[in-house]
Amino acid sequence: MSAAAPALAVRGLGKRFGGIQALEGVDLEVLSGEVHALVGENGAGKSTLINLLAGTLQPDAGQILVGGRPVRFRHARDAAAAGVAAVYQELSVIDSLSVAENLLPNRQPVNRWHFIRGTELRRQAEQILASFGVGLSPDTLVGQLALAERQVVEILKCLAAQPKVLLLDEPTSSLTQREKEALFGLIRHLRALGKGVVYISHHLPEVLALADRMTVLRDGRRVTTCARAEVTEAALARLMVGRELHSVFGKRGGAERGGRPRLQAAGLTRPGAFGPVSLEVWPGEIVGLAGLVGAGRTALGRALFGAEPALEGEIRLDGVSVNPRTPREAIELGIAYVTEDRKGQGLFLDQSIAHNLAAPGLGRFCGRWGFVRDGQMEQHARACRERSRIVAPDVHQTIGRLSGGNQQKVLLAAWIGLGPRLLIADEPTRGVDIGARSEIYGQLRGLAKEGAAVLLISSDLPEILGLADRVLVMRAGRLVARLTGAEATEQRIIAAALGAESPPATATNDTPDTE
Amino acid sequence: MNPPPASLLRQLSRLSELRILLLVAGFWLGLWLYDPAFLAPATINTVLLYLFGYAIMACGMTVLLVSGGFDLSVGSVSALAAMVAGVLMRDPALHVAWPLALAVGLGVGAAIGTANGLFIARLGINPFITTLGTMLLARGLTYIVSGGVGRSGFAPGFCWLGQGRVLAVHWPGWLGGGQWTGVQMPIVVSLLLVVVADVLLRKHRFFRQNYYLGGNEQAAWLSGIAVNRLKVFNYALSGTLAALAGLLFCARLDAAIPTAGEGDELKVITAVIVGGASLSGGKGTVLGAFLGCLLLATIRPAISFLNIGDHWEKALVGFILLTAVLLDRVGKRR
């Protein structure tokens, strides 16, 4: 490693969002020719840090230095100009264009009349592909490539601008093992070329296989920076987690299993997504469903709610065999599903809090001829606001203006307001600050105490451990571990989710390595 | 825990039609100040008679825009429905009774609307492309069915639908003597439809689902709304109302014309958007759309009234549309 100024350095970086300190006093040094991993749980501040480095957010405190020179990024363009490029989870390649056209957007070689010079474009693209040892044809349409190859194109697109530092945010979350290896090859090649690479991931085995050094973030602060040789996977996991869990989660209800299970699923399968999966949830119980992003948890939740078709297996609700084919049918059966995608699939952002709260089950507020009673709807909204402590002066306020935490409280309150028998909550605290979190936990606990069954899908391990009476772990579409509250620990869940341990007896051997 | 009663001003500011209401009121007030004769009953009657077709189509179009769709085929469908009814009534070989012809005409509209809905909801084809297709198809069928020539000389019963007057009043000599000649049927029908549609879209559960559908289709579906069924119904409604508008227009003129209703689709969409709806869905009301029709329909008489010259009409409509959208955007920023 060189003795010269680091390719990228960060001193005392801080960022606040409203009431919460997302990042505080973070130091980081990325050397040229180094792969520097950034690890931490969800909500530890990794994404905030990346956004600050990429110029899409501006820090409240601290300094960013590129090649030893202090810089201020007002805009993503500034970061790009300074030689910092970011590759996010969502790809921005255009499927209908060729690899060459994707590699050189806005930099296509043109002739005097500003027509694109096709052969020159092709030649330049070939040059880029060859220089990084990538064996793709520049003429292939990106839409015909595999996901990993598209990811490679995305990375090369950023590299075409000759950055000094490359930020990679969870680049492997949707790749198969073989595809990952190809990507790692490219990353190692970049390291050899002297680029600084910041690699964000919570897949610890990957991090350990790839990174030279790693910085651990927890609760917005840097815990430590260490070299690859200094740590083991277990030590890293401990550094990531290491906190008291039971404070924000309230008292466990001490669920007693009586009678028959509320939800009983047997051999549930959706080819390509999950299965066969069998599980039970008793009334009054919160069951945590843990696993990595892409393990099939959301697909399973949606299938139970009738939001995904093509289902094999059987669902029993209080012992009665049911088959919800649409959300409408599921709602009538007393199943509620709180989506993980609050803005995209959960809320009606341009509409009022009251209308959002009434959205599932509008019929509750209707008279005999189907006319909506606005007064009743408003009353319901006020009651929900009271009960769920939604911070808003007026229930007619547009919901898009509320904070993320309050929006989430509205979404949850809308579904709890239906009085469901079974609530499936998919990442109910994603992007939500600590205060709202504990209130959401209180809501879920309260619902369980009233006798509903709750299936909690979450990638937030402390949340699962603090809230769930039992924990199920999914990997690659299968349930690979069933843990009682006493058995469940972070290490066990992570091990099961990653498949680090020998698989338990429930999993058969032909586990596919991708969804 | 009763909330304090919202002040009148606050309730008024919540009224989504406020913007368009002020626009219409300001426009009319200006004209009235220029010459009080402008607001004479005769002028108003002329304006209403001019816009009844647009108002009827706007009811269906508002529902569609609120739900995030729209319908380019309304103008052609209105012509086709009238022409089918006209041919059925006047063709020597057919001579169908007018009530049956009327029903068939409405059925044609409903059928094309349902086809639009099925294409859009079931096959996921873009509303623009689907309704552009049916717009051309319906116009073409109008020419094919009619052979390119109009039909007229319909039964008096049919013509009464377009020309008859109701609510005529005579008052006796000791009250000053005189009479009110009443209102033409199309005006009555259109105003009635506007009121009914406004109340339904505002208050009725089934129609109100459209605000959710237009606001976020995914979320609406997950909330248990039968999204596809709703879409098909909306397009069927739009087609049926377009047919009704065309049939009333035909009855009023006692003529089915192959070129009837050309360009109406854009006029109606313009009026509905001026009235507060948005192409991205989730908002708008029938009352707002009606006021939008009223505003646009007043432009032509205002121009002749002020002697500006007919060439200004289109430019003014465009100006009003952009102003309305601009005001909306500025209102949102605040």
Per-chain mean pLDDT for chain A = 84
pLDDT above 70 (res A242): no
Is pLDDT above 90 for B254? yes
Residue A412 C-alpha, separation from nearest chain B C-alpha, in angstroms? 12
Q: Break chain A into its structural domains and give their ranges.
A: 8-241, 258-334+422-431+453-515, 343-418
* Minimum distance, in Å, between the CA of residue B224 and any CA atom of chain A: 4
Closest partner residue to A371 (CB to CB) among B14, B203, B215 is: B203
Question: Given a cut of 60, is residue A31 above it in pLDDT?
Answer: yes
Give me the CATH topology for the region A8-241: Rossmann fold (3.40.50)
Pairwise CA distance, residues A222 & B38, whole Å: 75
CB atoms under 10 Å from CB of B177, counted, come to: 9
Domains, chain B: 35-333 (1.10.3470)
Which residues 6+ apart lie within 8 Å of B22 measured at CB? none
- Residue whose entry in the numeric block shows the structure tokens 């390719």: A7
Model pLDDT, residue A512:
40
Q: What is the pLDDT of residues A40-79, one digit of tens each?
A: 776 678 888 988 998 888 898 899 999 888 988 888 888 8
Residue A502: the pLDDT is 42
Q: B113 to chain A nearest CA, in Å? A: 24
User: Which positions in chain A touch B222 (Cβ < 8 Å)?
Assistant: 305, 307, 327, 337, 339, 345-346, 360
> Which ipTM score applies to this complex?
0.82
Asked whether residue A504 carries a pLDDT value surpassing 50, the answer given is no
The maximal CA–CA distance of chain B, rounded, in angstroms, is: 72
pLDDT over 70 for what percent of chain B? 94
Percent of chain B whose predicted confidence (pLDDT) is above 90: 62
Average pLDDT over residues A278-290: 93
* Class (C level, CATH) for A258-334+422-431+453-515: alpha beta
pLDDT (0 to 100) of residue A249: 66
* pLDDT tens, residue by residue, B138-150: 999 999 999 999 9
* Residue B1 confidence (pLDDT) above 60: no
Q: Would you call B8 exposed, middle or buried from its count of C-beta atoms within 10 A (0-12, 13-18, 19+)?
A: exposed
Query: How many inter-chain contacts (A to B, CB under 8 Å) are there?
Result: 81
pLDDT computed for residue A2 by the predictor: 44
For the segment B106-119, what is each residue's pLDDT rounded down to a tens digit? 999 999 999 999 99
Q: A8-241 and A258-334+422-431+453-515 share one CATH topology?
A: yes
What mean pLDDT comes out for the span A448-473?
Answer: 91
- Residues of chain A with pLDDT > 90, as a percent, come to 33
Q: Can you tell me the mean pLDDT for B99-107?
A: 96
Q: Do B216 and A348 touch (CB under 8 A)?
A: yes
pTM over 0.90: no
Q: B185-203 and B227-253 helices cross at what angle (nearest 10)?
A: 170
Q: How large is the average pLDDT for residues B196-212? A: 93
- The predicted model gives A33-37 an average pLDDT of 93
Minimum-distance CB partner of A372 among B203, B221, B224: B203
pLDDT of A310 reads: 62
B10-35 confidence digits (pLDDT tens) = 655 556 677 788 888 888 888 888 88
Comparing A292 with A484, the larger pLDDT belongs to A484
Which sign, positive or negative, has the C-alpha torsion A272, A274, A277, A283? negative
DSSP symbol at A123: H
Rounded CA gap, B293 and B62, in Å? Answer: 12
Inter-chain CB proximity B209 and A351 less than 8 Å: no
Q: Which of residues 369-398 of A touch B (CB under 8 A)?
A: 369-372, 374, 382, 386, 396
The minimum CA-CA distance between B237 and chain A, rounded to whole Å, is: 18
pLDDT average, residue stretch A388-404: 85
